[in-house]
């Protein structure tokens, strides 16, 4: 069987020259790599005491929900502003050009809950940093953050200092 990183399609010069785009859809389209990715991400939670899994729209849903199901945990979605129907808390964060806002339901995290965040990729770390702030604002404690892929050259881990961060596949560049 191939190694998981062999399933990731790398597209040079997308979305702009000098960037190598790491395409997760090639992982999702193959039954072996999809199972392998979920299994390897889940292995990072062995023996960890936690209550809920949080995942950002949309690829955090793809990987977070099956892990939550396998471990009999609740899954809490983080959505783009305006997508959740009940009372929310929100956090704005910086993008390369501009800002974005994410939201969670105000009642989604209970004070004292131990939270795991699952997502497909860490690049600059801005989205996950905002999610950690929302979780803590609601009284939760982030006990682990797991990514399928990490672009080490963008130094996203620096925004997550103090958190237990794991990534399955690491790419040295951007």
Tens-digit pLDDT profile for residues 16-66: 888 888 999 999 999 999 999 999 999 999 999 999 999 999 999 999 999
149 CB neighbour count, 10 Å cutoff: 21
| Torsional sign, CA 135, 140, 144, 148 | negative
Catalytic residue among 16, 17, 87, 96: 96
59 is catalytic: yes
The pTM assigned to this predicted structure is 0.95
For the chain, which domains are there? Answer: 49-171 (3.40.50.2020)
9 is catalytic: no
Cis peptide before 15 (omega within 30 of 0): yes
Catalytic residue among 5, 57, 59, 157: 59
Q: Is 77 helix (H, G, I), strand (E, B) or coil?
A: strand
Residue carrying structure tokens 């560049």: 173
Cα–Cα distance between 30 and 62 in angstroms, integer? Answer: 14
40 CB neighbour count, 10 Å cutoff: 15
pLDDT in tens, 96-124: 778 999 999 999 999 999 999 999 999 99
């Amino acid at each position: 069987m191939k190694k998981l990183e062999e399933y990731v399609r790398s597209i040079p010069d997308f979305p702009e020259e000098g960037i190598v785009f790491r395409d997760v859809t090639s992982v999702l389209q193959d039954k072996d790599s999809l199972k392998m990715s979920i299994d390897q991400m889940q292995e990072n939670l062995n023996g960890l005491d936690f209550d809920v899994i949080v995942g950002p729209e949309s690829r955090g849903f793809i990987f977070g929900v099956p892990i939550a199901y396998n471990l009999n945990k609740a899954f809490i979605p983080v959505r783009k502003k305006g997508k959740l129907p009940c009372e929310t808390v929100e956090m704005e964060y910086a993008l390369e050009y501009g800002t974005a806002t994410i939201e969670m339901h105000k009642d989604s995290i209970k004070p004292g809950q131990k939270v795991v965040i699952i997502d497909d990729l860490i690049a600059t770390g801005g989205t996950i940093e905002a999610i950690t702030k929302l979780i803590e604002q609601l009284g939760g404690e982030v006990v682990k953050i797991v990514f399928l892929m990490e672009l080490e050259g963008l130094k996203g881990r620096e925004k997550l200092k103090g958190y237990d961060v794991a990534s399955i596949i690491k790419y040295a560049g951007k």
